[in-house]
Structure formats: C-alpha cells, structure tokens
C-alpha cells in the first residue's frame, strides 16, 4: 500500500519555491526561495522590477500537525528607480505572505491576534506554546499595539465622554465612545479635560456630546466646540432625578416621624370562665 505524501506547495504563494523540507521530532523547517518579479515601493507606490540583492530571513509560520514550523526564506531586495523617492532599497513583502522585517508570517499574526482578543496576552502565549508556536506575552502586546495604530480613526458627529478607572480610586482616564454604534473610539490619559481638548481639536466635526456632570468636561467642550450640543447621559439624568426627589421629600416631610403603637386591651373574662378555672386549679392541687 503506497503512502501519500503531504503536498506543501499549496501552503505558500506561487511566487515561492520549496527548496528543502527538514522534519524533526518537534519542528519542521521549510527552505523557500522567492521568484517575484515586481514589487511596489512602500513610500511612493511605484512599481519596481529591479532586484538589488538577496537576503535570508527566518520566519515562524502556523504549526503543521502540532509541530513548530520555521521558514528559511531567501528573498529579494528591490531598488526604487523613482527619482523623487527617498526609499532607494526595500524588502519585498511576498504578496502579503509576510511583511518587511517581520519574524512571523501574516497568517500566523492574524491567528495570534484573534486568540489574544478572545483570551489575554499571557493566556494566548501559553495556548500558543501548547500548539507549537513560540511567542511571549510581551510580543503579543507589541503586535496588538501595532495593529491598533493601523486602524483608521473613526469620524463621527455624536460622541459620549466619561471617565474610567485604570485602578479604582487611584488612576483614571477618559473614554470616548461613538454615540451611534456605542463602540469605543479612544482612551485618553487623565480626566481633567486637557487631553479631551487636544482630542476635540482634531475632531471638530463633533456636533453632539453626551457627558457626565464633570465641570472639566463641560468646560473643555465649551471652549473647543462652543456650538456643540451637550447632553447629560442617561445614568446622570437618573442621578439628577433621584437627587431632586430627595430634596423635595426633605422639604415636605418632617425630619422625624413618630409612630405610635396601638394599645392592646386584655381579653374579657366572664364569671363562668373564672369558676371553671378555679375548679381546675383545685383538682391539680389534690392530685399533687
């Protein structure tokens, strides 16, 4: 009976060729060679076809059959021939398979980021090691921050502003939420209104702001966006209502209310009841 071999060629882009595969007890090493013919300059986006040189890269890929997978890649450096471009030499990205200067493939990064969002950085690191991926919690934090910087800013006319605690009772920040989608837009340092002013300077399209009762937020919004409508949020409207009810109750009701308990009268006892009780008492005395 013939053994079927695993076809590795379908795992990688067509512009890459498998030169050699080394399989150990706990690791698979795949030697690849790039044969790309063109790349776009990362600065001017000019299409470049001139190979400057080759270089070797070591990448970690998704595990295969539970084994750590290492890619030894021979890739090209390209020369940008655009006269006005500052980027003279750059590394290829191989059709999105791996970014420049990255130590992981793009698909492995996407998998790890998905795992982090559903667990935590340290928890994802432990799970990854069990599946054959070597990555630390600190590396996952850096990957998450780099990914966050690539997300385009959300532009909306309706925002919600409130404070939130890094550590309750000690350090606080300011959270900004999209009023339409209720998704977090940004997290700012401090809650004194200074960082909110800087944020509003860059987002003057805002027309409606839902906020708490903090004077610092109100003053910052009034200074930067005087025409914006400020609305108290639902929680603080409820707080205002309860406070108004309490003040009204204090004015209308006395400070102390005496509650008098009703006087209970002893039950009526007729003569027949007294005679029968006396006879019963005498019988008990005779028995003794």
Please say which residue of 236, 258, 278 terminates a domain. Answer: 236
- Give the tens place of pLDDT for each residue, 45-80: 888 888 888 889 899 999 988 889 999 999 888 888
**Mean pLDDT lowest for which of 140-144, 179-183, 187-191, 254-258?**
254-258
What's the token pair of residue 98? 């791996």
Is the model's pLDDT at 267 over the cut of 70?
A: no
The answer to the question of residue 244 being in a domain is no
Please say which residue of 103, 135, 166 terminates a domain. Answer: 103
The answer to the question of residue 176 being in a domain is yes
* Residue 4's pLDDT band (cuts 50, 70, 90): low
Residue 145, pLDDT score: 86
Residue 139, pLDDT score: 92
pTM of this structure: 0.59
The answer to the question of residue 76 being in a domain is yes
**Average pLDDT over every residue of 17-39:** 89
**Average pLDDT over every residue of 145-151:** 80
The residue ranges of DSSP E strands in the chain, in sequence order, are 16-23, 27-34, 39-40, 47-48, 50-64, 67-79, 89-91, 158-167, 171-178, 184-189, 208-211, 229-232
Question: Can you give the residue range of the structural domain that contains 84?
Answer: 12-103
Residue 31, pLDDT score: 94
**Total number of domains constituting the chain:** 3
19 with 74, same domain: the answer is: yes
**Average pLDDT over every residue of 234-263:** 79
83 with 134, same domain: the answer is: no
Pairwise CA distance, residues 164 & 178, whole Å: 16
176 with 130, same domain: the answer is: no
Rounded to 5°, angle at Cα 11 from 4 and 122: 115
109 with 165, same domain: the answer is: no
36 with 87, same domain: the answer is: yes
Residue 284, pLDDT score: 65
Residue 119: partners with Cβ closer than 8 Å, 6 or more residues away: 127
145 with 88, same domain: the answer is: no
Please say which residue of 121, 151, 181 terminates a domain. Answer: 151
186: domain CATH number is 3.30.420.10
Q: What is the distance, to the nearest Å, from the Cα of residue 250 to the centroid of all Cα atoms in its chain?
A: 45
């Amino acid at each position: 009976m013939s053994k079927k071999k695993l076809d590795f060629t379908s795992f990688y882009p067509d512009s890459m060729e498998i030169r050699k595969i080394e399989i150990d007890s706990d690791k698979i090493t795949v030697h690849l060679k790039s044969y790309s013919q063109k790349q776009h300059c990362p600065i001017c986006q000019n299409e470049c076809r001139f190979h400057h040189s080759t270089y070797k890269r070591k990448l970690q890929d998704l595990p295969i059959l539970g084994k750590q997978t290492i890619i030894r890649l021979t890739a090209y450096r390209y020369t940008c021939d655009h006269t006005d471009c500052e980027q003279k030499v750059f590394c290829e990205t191989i059709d999105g398979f791996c970014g420049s200067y990255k130590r992981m493939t793009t698909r492995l990064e996407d998998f790890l980021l998905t795992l982090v969002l559903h667990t935590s950085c340290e928890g994802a690191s432990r799970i990854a090691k069990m599946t054959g991926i070597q990555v630390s919690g600190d590396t996952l934090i850096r990957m998450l921050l780099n990914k966050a910087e690539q997300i385009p800013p959300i532009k909306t006319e309706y925002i919600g502003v409130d404070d939130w605690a890094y550590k309750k009772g000690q350090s606080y920040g300011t959270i900004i939420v999209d009023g339409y989608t209720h998704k977090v837009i940004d997290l700012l340092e401090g809650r004194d209104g200074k960082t909110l002013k800087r944020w509003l300077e860059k987002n003057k399209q805002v027309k409606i702001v839902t906020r708490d009762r903090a004077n610092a937020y109100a003053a910052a919004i009034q200074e930067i966006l005087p025409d914006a409508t400020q609305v108290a949020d639902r929680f603080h409207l409820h707080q205002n209502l309860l406070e108004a009810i309490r003040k009204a109750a204090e004015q209308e009701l006395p400070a102390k209310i005496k509650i008098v308990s009703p006087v209970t009268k002893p039950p009526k006892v007729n003569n027949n009841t007294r005679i029968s009780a006396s006879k019963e008492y005498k019988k008990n005395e005779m028995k003794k």
